[in-house]
Amino acid sequence: MAQTGLAEAGTPVWRGWLAIGVGLLASWSWVLIVVTFAPDIFGGEAMPGVYAAYTLTIYVPLLPIALLAGWIGGTKVLATGKHPLRWALAGLVIGAAGLSVALGMSWLNGTAITGSAATGLTGLVMMGVALTLVQSTMEEVLFRGWLQNAVSERLGQIAGVLGGAVLFAGFHLVGGARQPLTLTFITLAGVLFGLLALRSGGVLAPIAAHAAWNVTEDSIFGLVPNPGNELLGSIMDFDLVGNPLWGGNEEGLNASLGAVLVIIAAILPLLVGRRPAPAGVPA
């Protein structure tokens, strides 16, 4: 059953809604400002240091925004939940294995080919892994650690998970995602991460799943961008060419039927059984 209520006894209802408004306005405004003025701030030259500075600039401020919004609304943001290490490991397996299976589906359908831009494990690749961890962590703290709990406390767990997932997709729409399959995949990924947060009672499982998917995609298999690989390189390099339904388009594997099917398969087991209340919400 969905749980509703206030995260902290005595927190006025208006403060909860104010916190949601402030948090969303601040986070979206920040991202739009950075994306709009990035060419002027960082210049147009593609260099590892510039890429790192841009990534840290756009994502690190999401943490204080989430913490401030949580403080205003009385929502606990950085809950670890029960059995955090077990859930973190489960998240890592879901993310890395899910991406690998989705790539395997593209390969079986003749869309995945070996590229020529692999660099092996280098210092720049490790930098890419670190930056991906920052990006994934900040997004999950904002959308699952704060927003999902804040909405769940007022409208119930289903609204919290779905609301966080839809806004998560909108966040990536601002970042350039346009393909219908990409937006479908990102929305379903938001549902998966939300259910992991709900099941585990904390934010570590969705962080682990999100980071593992992205690291495997970017730094291990070199699938971003498509074709080619990231500025910081990748251990291997695969390109997706041909059928757009299996990722043979500029948005790559995330715009593929395989990625959508994998996410649905990961969601279904999490829908079964008892769900704990969000962090800080009285049963």
| Segments of the chain with pLDDT less than 70 | 1-11, 44, 175-177, 273-283
Collapse the DSSP code of 109 into the 3-class scheme (helix H, G, I; strand E, B; otherwise coil) and give the result.
Answer: coil
**Cα(191)–Cα(199) distance, rounded to whole angstroms?**
12
Residue 112: how many CB atoms within 10 A of its CB?
25
Looking at residue 276, its pLDDT comes to 52
**Cα(110)–Cα(189) distance, rounded to whole angstroms?**
25
Cβ proximity of 226 and 247 under 8 Å: yes
Looking at residue 275, its pLDDT comes to 55
**Cα(216)–Cα(253) distance, rounded to whole angstroms?**
12
* Interval 30-72: pLDDT, tens: 999 998 888 778 776 778 888 999 999 999 999 999 999 999 9
- Buried b or exposed e, range 25-53, using 16+ CB within 10 angstroms: ebbeebbeebeeebeeebeeeeebebbbe
Collapse the DSSP code of 181 into the 3-class scheme (helix H, G, I; strand E, B; otherwise coil) and give the result.
Answer: helix
Instruction: Give strand ranges (E) for the chain.
Output: 112-114, 238-240
DSSP state of 143: I
Tell me the domain boundaries of the chain.
Answer: 78-270
206: left (phi over 0), alpha (psi -120 to 50) or beta: alpha
H, E, C per residue of 219-275:
HHCCCCCCCCCCCCCCCCCEEECCCCCECCCCCHHHHEHHHHHHHHHHHHHHCCCCC
DSSP state of 111: -
Q: Which long-range contacts (CB under 8 A, 24 or more apart) does 266-273 make?
A: 266/94, 266/98, 266/192, 267/188, 267/191, 267/192, 267/195, 270/192, 270/195, 270/196, 270/198, 270/199, 271/195
Looking at residue 6, its pLDDT comes to 41
Collapse the DSSP code of 2 into the 3-class scheme (helix H, G, I; strand E, B; otherwise coil) and give the result.
Answer: coil
* Interval 133-160: pLDDT, tens: 999 999 999 999 999 999 999 899 999 9
Looking at residue 281, its pLDDT comes to 46
Burial of 251 (0-12, 13-18, 19+ CB in 10 A): buried
**Cα(73)–Cα(160) distance, rounded to whole angstroms?**
15
Looking at residue 2, its pLDDT comes to 36
